[in-house]
Structure 1
Amino acid sequence: MRARTRHLLLAAGLVPALAAAAGQPHDPASSVPAPVYSTLPVPVSGQAAMGEIDWREANDTVGAFTGGHRDVLRWEAEHMPSTAAQALPDGEPLAAAEALRIALGKRPDLFASETMGALERAEADIAVINLSRDVHRAWIKAVSAEQTLRRAEEAFEAVDVSTELALRMTRVGNWGQDRLLKKQLSHADTAIALAQTRQEAASAREQLIRQLGLWGAEASTLRLPDSLPALPAAPLDAEGLEATAVRNHPRLQLLAIRAEWARRGLSAGTLETWQNAAQSALSAQLPQRSASDDPMGGLITRAPLLEYRRLPARHEAGDAMRAQAEAAALAADIRSQVREAYHQYRVAYDIARLAEENARLSEEIQEETLLQYNGMLKSTWDLLASARDRVERSGAAVNARRDFWLAHANLQAVLAGADYAGPDGSSLSAAGNPNAAGGH
C-alpha cells in the first residue's frame, strides 16, 4: 500500500486495524515524536578594536578572491561548520483537495443522512461548506507561512553577512565602533524577526493540523507544497455572482418556499391591510420628522406595536408577512456579502499582481547591481542592500498571493452558502512597503 494512500485511508478511518495499532490520540500512553524547535543562528557579536588586524594582511586575503569580501565570506560559509537546515519530510506534498478529504474523513458527525428533514439537511450542507472554507484557508496560511519563513531566513543571511563584514572592516581600521554597533543592533532585530516568523509558521502549520485532525507521526511528517498556486490569468467575472449565491444557499431556498406557501390563499386586500398596519405602527414609533435635537435621531427603545384588534381575523397573514420578511432579509444579506467578498477578491488580485511585478523588478535590480559590483562600480554594501530589498519584496509578493487565495476561498464559500469570513488585508500595506510584510 502506497504511503499516501495509507495516509488517506487512516485519516478517513477506513483502516481500523492499522489505526488501532498506532494508538488513540486520547491515550496518554500513545508514543508520539517530541515537539521540534529550531534554535536561531549564533549572532555575529563581540568587540572589535579599530586596527587590531593589519590591513595589508587583510587586503591580501581579500585579493585572493575575485569577488572580494563577498567571495571570502562565501568560501568560509562553505568550508566552516554550520547548522544544517532541517530535512523536509518524505512523501508527496499535501494538496488542498487532499487536505479537505482528510479533514472531512475525520468528521463523520457532519455527514448527512436520508432521515434528515429539509432544514436539518440545509444546516448540514452549510456546516460542510464552512469546514471546506476553513480547511482551505488553513492550508493557504500554512503554505504561505513556510514560504515566508524561507524568505526571512534569506533576509537574515544577508544581514548576517553584512554584520560579519562590518566586524572585519572595524578590525582593519576602516570603520568606527558606532557603525559596527548599529550593524550589530540591526542583526539582533533581524534575528528577533526571524524567530517571530518561525513561530508564525509553526502556528499556521498547527492550525492546519488541527483542522485535519492529525496527531503523532502523521502530524510531524506532514509535508506542504513549496508555494501557493500561481495567480489565475484573469479574475472571476462579477456577472451573475449574486444570482448564484441566492440560488445555492441551502437555507434561503427553504425560507423562500415557506414564505410562498404562507402567502398563497390570502387575498391581496388582506395582505395590503397587514402591510398598512405595519407601516402605521412604524410611523407611530418613529415619526419621519423627529423633534429630538440628536442629529442621529435617537434610538428606538421599544418595538413597534401592531394593533391586532383592527386587523382581519385571519392571523396567517401575519405569519406570511414574517416569513416573507425573513426570506427577504437573508437574501439581501447574501447579496451584500457577495458584493463585499468579490470586491475584496478583486482588490487582493490587483495587489498580488503589483506585488509580484515589484518582486520581479527587484530581482532585475539585484542582477544589475551584481554586474556593476563585478565591474567595481558598486560596493559590497550596495550588493547586500539590493539582496535584502529583493528578499523583502519577494516576501511581500508571497503575502499578497496568500491574501488573494484567502479572498478566493471566502468568495467561493459565500457563493456556496456560507457566511463571508471577512477581509484579509495584511498585504494592502505590504505590497507598497516591503518592510510591512511581517517585519522582514
Structure 2
Amino acid sequence: MHRIAVYLPLALGLLPMLAAGSQPYEPTVPVPEPTFVPLPSSLLEGDAMGEDDWRSANDTVGAFTRGHIDIIRWEAENRPATTTEVPSDDAPLSPTEALRIALSNRPDLFVTEDMNRLERARADVAVLEFARDVQRTWIEAVAATARLRRAEEAFEATEIATELGVRMTRVGNWGQDRLLHQQLSLSDAGIDLLQARQSATSAREALIRTLGLWGDATELQLPDQLPALPDAPLGADGLETAALQKHPTLSLLAIEAERARRGLASRTLDMWNDATQRALSDALAPAPDEGEGEAMLQLITSAPLLEQRRLPRGHDAAKAAKSQAEAAALAVGIRSRVREAYHQYRVAYAIAQGAEDNQRLSEELQNDMALRYNGMLKSTWDLLSSARDRVERADAAMQARRDFWLAHANLQAVLAGAEYSGPDAGTAATGRNAAAGGH
C-alpha cells in the first residue's frame, strides 16, 4: 500500500520526459465508446399474497441450513455470469507516480536558468499548487472507487432482504404493505448505487484529465483504499514559523521592502504616515446629522484622499509603503492560512478516528449478531439490518479518511507556500441512518 508522503514532492529537478504508462495524443487512433452498466434485474414486480404453496415453499427452505437467506445466496452464486472482469497485473497508481505523469504533460510548469529569483519563486508556488491538485484528485478517485464498492454491498444486502420479502409475500407470511416498504428500500439503494457509480466515474475522469492520459493508459489501476490514518497527527509547534521561512516569495518581498524603507529619511516616513492617517480620518468621519446607530450602517463611499501638500516629495515614500504593505499582507496571510489549514487537519483527523471506531464497533456487533443468529436467538431481519449498518459505517469511515487526507494535502501545500484552497465540505456521516429491517 502506497502512503502519501509527508511533504508534497516538488517538480524542480525532474526531467521532462514521457511518463511510463502514458501515451501521446494520436487523433487517427480509434477510441472506444463510453460504457454504462445498468442495475441488476428489478425485484419490483408485483407479487400476490399466497401465490406459492406454503408447504412446498417451506420444504425448499428446510433443505438449507439458514433458511431463506441461504437459498437467495445459493441462487446468486449459481447464476450465469453476466460480465467477465480481466484482472490487471499493473501496480496501483501511487500519488507520486500520478504527479510524475501529470508534470510530464505540463512543460509550462518547468523553470529555466534565465529566470530571476522572483520568477523562480512564483514558478515554485505554481508547481506546489498543481501538485496539491493532483494529489487531491488522486485521493478523490480512490475514495470514490472504494465508496462504489460499499454502495454495491449495500445494494446486495437490500436486494437479499427484498427477495426474502417477495418469497414471504408469495407464501402468505407477509402483507403487501410490508413488501412495498421493502421494495421502496431497494429502489432507494438502487438510486444510491447509480449515484455512487456516477461519482466514481466523475472522480476517475477528473484524474485522467489532470494526468493527461490517452489511449490504453486511461485504464489506470487505483489502490483498493486510501492509506490508513497516521498513528498521531502533526504537532502545531513551529508550523507558522516554518511556513514563513519556507515561503518562496515572502523573503524576496521582505528584502525589497526593507531596502525601500532604509532609503528614506525618518522625516519622510513621518510625513507619509501623518498624511495617510489624516486621509483615513477624513474618509471615515460620520456626517454631522448621523447618529451612532446610523454610522454603523454607513459604508465608506470613496477612497481615502492623500493631500499632495502634506506628502513628501518624490515617489519613494509611496513605493516603500506599498512594498511594506505587500510583504506584511503576505506574512499575515501565510500565518492565518496555516492556522486554518491546521485546524481543519486536526478536526478531520478526530472525525476519521471516531468514524473508524464506529466501524470497528459495528463489525463486532455484526459478528455477535451472526453468532446469535446461528444460535436461533436473532431473526434473519436482525442479521440483514446489522449487515446494512456495518456497510454504512464502513462507508462513513472511508469518507472520513478521505476528508483527512484532503486536509493533509491542503496543510502540506500551505506549509510549502501554496495558497489555501479552503476547507472541504465534509460528507462523512456516522452511519446511524441504517434502515431497520422487519421481523
Secondary structure in structure 1 of the residue aligned to 2:249: helix
Do the aligned partners of residues 44 and 14 (structure 1) sit closer, same or farther apart at CA in structure 2, a change above 3 Å counting?
Answer: closer
| Distance across 1 between alignment mates of 2:238 and 2:431 | 33
Asked if the contact 2:392/2:431 (under 8 Å) is kept, the reply is no
The equivalent residue for 2:417 is 417
| Distance across 2 between alignment mates of 1:327 and 1:88 | 55
Deviation at 1:272, TM superposition (A): 2.1
Q: 1:12 is aligned with what amino acid?
A: M
TM-score, reference length from structure 1: 0.90
The equivalent residue for 1:57 is 56
Asked if the contact 1:392/1:435 (under 8 Å) is kept, the reply is yes
Deviation sequence 1:114-149 (CA, Å, 0-9, x none)? 111222212211110111000000000000000000
Asked if the contact 1:32/1:216 (under 8 Å) is kept, the reply is yes
The equivalent residue for 1:408 is 408
Q: 1:121 is aligned with what amino acid?
A: R
1:156 aligns with 2:155: yes
Q: 1:369 is aligned with what amino acid?
A: M
Secondary structure in structure 2 of the residue aligned to 1:227: coil
Asked if the contact 1:140/1:405 (under 8 Å) is kept, the reply is yes
1:283 aligns with 2:281: yes
Counterparts in 2 of 1:192-203, with a 5 A limit? 192-203=191-202
Deviation at 1:368, TM superposition (A): 0.8
| Distance across 2 between alignment mates of 1:85 and 1:301 | 69
Deviation sequence 1:178-216 (CA, Å, 0-9, x none)? 111111121111111101100000000010111110011
Asked if the contact 1:366/1:390 (under 8 Å) is kept, the reply is yes
Deviation sequence 1:378-418 (CA, Å, 0-9, x none)? 11111000000000010000000000000000011111111
Secondary structure in structure 2 of the residue aligned to 1:427: coil
Deviation at 1:169, TM superposition (A): 0.1
The equivalent residue for 1:320 is 320
Do the aligned partners of residues 321 and 390 (structure 1) sit closer, same or farther apart at CA in structure 2, a change above 3 Å counting?
Answer: same
Stretches of structure 2 lacking an aligned partner (at least 5 in a row): 1-13
% identical equivalent positions: 61
Deviation at 1:89, TM superposition (A): 3.5
Asked if the contact 2:102/2:134 (under 8 Å) is kept, the reply is yes
Counterparts in 2 of 1:212-361, with a 5 A limit? 212-219=211-218, 221-287=219-285, 291=290, 293-294=293-294, 296-361=296-361
Do the aligned partners of residues 316 and 100 (structure 1) sit closer, same or farther apart at CA in structure 2, a change above 3 Å counting?
Answer: same
Q: 1:322 is aligned with what amino acid?
A: K
Stretches of structure 1 lacking an aligned partner (at least 5 in a row): 1-8
Asked if the contact 2:150/2:395 (under 8 Å) is kept, the reply is yes
Q: 1:223 is aligned with what amino acid?
A: Q
| Distance across 2 between alignment mates of 1:432 and 1:171 | 33
Secondary structure in structure 1 of the residue aligned to 2:352: helix
Do the aligned partners of residues 130 and 170 (structure 1) sit closer, same or farther apart at CA in structure 2, a change above 3 Å counting?
Answer: same
| Distance across 1 between alignment mates of 2:350 and 2:430 | 10
Counterparts in 2 of 1:20-31, with a 5 A limit? 24-25=24-25, 27=27, 29-31=28-30
| Distance across 1 between alignment mates of 2:169 and 2:325 | 77
Asked if the contact 2:19/2:100 (under 8 Å) is kept, the reply is no
| Distance across 2 between alignment mates of 1:85 and 1:360 | 33
Deviation at 1:95, TM superposition (A): 0.5
Deviation at 1:288, TM superposition (A): 8.0
The equivalent residue for 1:176 is 175
Do the aligned partners of residues 287 and 85 (structure 1) sit closer, same or farther apart at CA in structure 2, a change above 3 Å counting?
Answer: farther
Q: 1:165 is aligned with what amino acid?
A: L
Do the aligned partners of residues 262 and 284 (structure 1) sit closer, same or farther apart at CA in structure 2, a change above 3 Å counting?
Answer: same
Counterparts in 2 of 1:70-219, with a 5 A limit? 70-84=69-83, 86-219=85-218
Do the aligned partners of residues 32 and 315 (structure 1) sit closer, same or farther apart at CA in structure 2, a change above 3 Å counting?
Answer: same
The equivalent residue for 1:382 is 382
Asked if the contact 2:369/2:382 (under 8 Å) is kept, the reply is yes
Do the aligned partners of residues 414 and 433 (structure 1) sit closer, same or farther apart at CA in structure 2, a change above 3 Å counting?
Answer: farther
Deviation sequence 1:214-264 (CA, Å, 0-9, x none)? 011110x20000000000011111111111221122222221111011011
Aligned-residue RMSD, C-alpha? 2.3
| Distance across 2 between alignment mates of 1:432 and 1:153 | 16
| Distance across 2 between alignment mates of 1:284 and 1:243 | 38
Give aligned pairs, total.
420
